[in-house]
Amino acid sequence: MLLTSAEYLDSLRDARAVYLYGERVQDVTTHPAFRNAVRSIMRLYDTLHDPAQQELLTTVDAYGIRTHRFFAPSTSPQELLAAREAIAAWARLSYGFMGRTPEYKAAFMASLGANPEFYAPFHENALAWYKKFASRALFLNHVLVNPPVDRKKPIHEVADVFIHLVKERDDGIVVSGAKMLATGSAITHATFVAQNSSANLAKGQAEDFALVFIADMDTPGATLLCRNSYEYQALSPFDHPLSSRFDENDAVLLFDNAFIPWDNVLVYRDVEKANAFYRASGFFSCYNLQAGTRLGVKLDFMAGLFAKGIAANGTDEFRGVQVALGDVIGWRNLIWALTTTLCVDPQPGPGNSVIPKTEHAATLRLFSHRCWDEIHSIFETYLGGSPLVAPSSYKDLLNEDLRPLIERYYRGSDTSAEQRVKLFKLIWDAMGTEFGARHALYERNYSGNNEQIRLD
């Protein structure tokens, strides 16, 4: 049965090694750096048990498992469209600002159900993991990228840093090394370890690096070293309405002689298969549907924010500003149109499944990579310093001496000072805070580096 929010919360209380600010986090569900993000994910699980949303969000797969629509392989354009709507419904709960919610890696999990044979001789593992994740809608993260060190060297020459086989045992394998970027990993159930699209493992030399496996987050010897927490730093939901709720903490995943049982192994010392995984498994085509839909939801939100911002400033009737709003809406329309194309013009997948065409997925990936920089530039150009000069905190509005001044001098065109301050704090959190800057970096790079996006 699909996880409830209470079961999800309880499932995170284990022995996972998460480090932040020099200390091991004892409980991610209560720690001020993670607890609100956990609650945001809980809302997703709540929707799966809402009778009013069950038809929208769930389906019964070929194995008789009721699961989220994107966890199950699609067999027609209509099913892809239905999966897109389920993705969008979840994305709207975070306004598109949580990119690695459970259905993101469902793009991979569904491929295990549709194409377990790709992982032969570990095909039984692949199918077993599909059924396990689909039946509960479990939360998976991934690490595909090697740390940026000694990039000029072949992968097999950087064994002191990159994940590799230490030894083989009768009951599994032992691995050591690091990978990134484990976005949201501290509040997930397991991590998927593989190679990205630029992998070029050398046959006859890099077999010990040619591994694809799944590791539970509480695996002994696995450590998450997290970046600074924007949720922890947020003053209040009034001052930081997005970062206080939707911070997906990024981390580096470190393995130090960590044991991985054979049941969790999908590719073992197979260079050709490890290099081919990103495209041949179907993951590439499917994840772009989730990513594009989530970005479309985010652009819906940003178009509305921009419209409200220019209205509050009284510039919404200026011709040039209207042109800029048209640009924002144009980007929004483009991304949504591309997700529609991914659904209605698919290619045959394994078995009787269909997946988005590779060329359509690559096109969406390219324009998604460019989109956020364009949107960011429009906000900076046409809103100017408005988001920057909001009062420092909600406490300023509670000050009896300041409140009359704020009411007078911070009012908007046809809106109160309090509403205008709230609006521009929201815009600043989306664009100008450290959380906002991280999102600019994320949208530009999460799907691959600048060159690889074009080469693929």
Q: Which residues are annotated as a binding site for FAD?
A: 142-144, 183
| Among 240, 281, 176, 267, residue whose Cα is nearest residue 430 | 240
* Residues 201, 198: Cα–Cα separation, whole Å: 9
- Do 89 and 47 touch, CB atoms closer than 8 A? yes
| Contact criterion met (CB below 8 Å) for 172 and 213 | no
Calculated CA dihedral for residues 390, 393, 396, 397, nearest 10 degrees: 80
Cα(356)–Cα(13) distance, rounded to whole angstroms? 37
Alpha-carbon gap, residue 421 to 435, rounded angstroms: 19
Peptide bond into 350 cis (omega under 30): no
| C-alpha span between 365 and 289 (Å, rounded) | 9
Query: Beta strand pairing status for 354-356 and 211-216?
Result: unpaired
Which residues participate in the annotated binding site?
142-144, 183
Report the distance separating Cα 250 and Cα 167, nearest Å.
29
361: left (phi over 0), alpha (psi -120 to 50) or beta: alpha
Amino acid at 253: L
What is d(CA 280, CA 119) in angstroms, rounded to the nearest whole number?
A: 11
